[in-house]
Amino acid sequence: MALGERIKQRRKELKLSLRQLAERVELTASFLSKIELGQSSPSIDSLRKISQVLDVPIFYFLVDEAARSPVVRANQRLKLRRPNSNLIFELLTPDLTRRMEAFLFEQEPGGGNYANPPAQYTEELIYVLSGQLEVELLQGTYELAAGDTIYFEGPSLRGLKAVGTETMRLLAVVTPPVL
């Protein structure tokens, strides 16, 4: 099922009109209609707003349930790039219907803060694979290098950014799924 069809199906399950959804996500009903018909694609930020209003993870709209397998091949991972950013992330788990999600993030130094504090309570683990990562939590700021890990409660997150001179790559595990 295509992304637009999934949005429309979920909207109808919640008995929301196109206009009601548009008001809640601050988009036009016309644009949402084009998304549902497959004539336009939303940005990641717009899709995040839609998923929050429809009360599903963002990847609910992106992962093909028919192709679900316990194995996620490196060349078949869902990859996304944040708009106006050099941040790339890949979904490492086969779907988001489980109790956790895992991602591989990659960002060049100087790419800015990409933290997005979750709307719900989460617990998160980050393992730095390469480069350096600055993590800002309510309790303080921590600089991590390759091989370091940090575990925190999602609501305490204030900042994440690649620092140093190398491309930063990290593995992040979050429970419950938030995207």
- What is residue 83's predicted lDDT score, i.e. its pLDDT? 65
Q: Which of 161, 173, 112, 119 is nearest to 136 (CA)?
A: 161
* Predicted confidence (pLDDT) per residue in 126-137, tens digit: 999 999 999 999
Location of each CATH 1.10.260.40 domain in the chain: 3-61
The SS3 of residue 167 is coil
Do residues 119 and 178 touch, judged by C-beta distance below 8 A?
yes
CA 112 from chain centre, in angstroms, equals 17
With bands split at pLDDT 50, 70 and 90, how would you rate the model's confidence at 65?
low
- What is residue 68's predicted lDDT score, i.e. its pLDDT? 66
Helices and strands (H and E) in the chain: how many: 4, 9
Query: Cα–Cα distance between 138 and 149 in angstroms, integer?
Result: 17
pLDDT beyond 80 at 122: yes
Stated pTM of the model:
0.68
Do residues 113 and 160 touch, judged by C-beta distance below 8 A?
yes
Location of each CATH 2.60.120.10 domain in the chain: 69-175
Between 89 and 137, name the one with better pLDDT: 137
- 3-61: CATH topology: 434 Repressor (Amino-terminal Domain) (1.10.260)
With bands split at pLDDT 50, 70 and 90, how would you rate the model's confidence at 21?
very high
* Predicted confidence (pLDDT) per residue in 2-13, tens digit: 788 889 999 999
With bands split at pLDDT 50, 70 and 90, how would you rate the model's confidence at 112?
confident
What is the CATH number that goes with domain 69-175? 2.60.120.10
With bands split at pLDDT 50, 70 and 90, how would you rate the model's confidence at 86?
confident
DSSP letter at 103? E
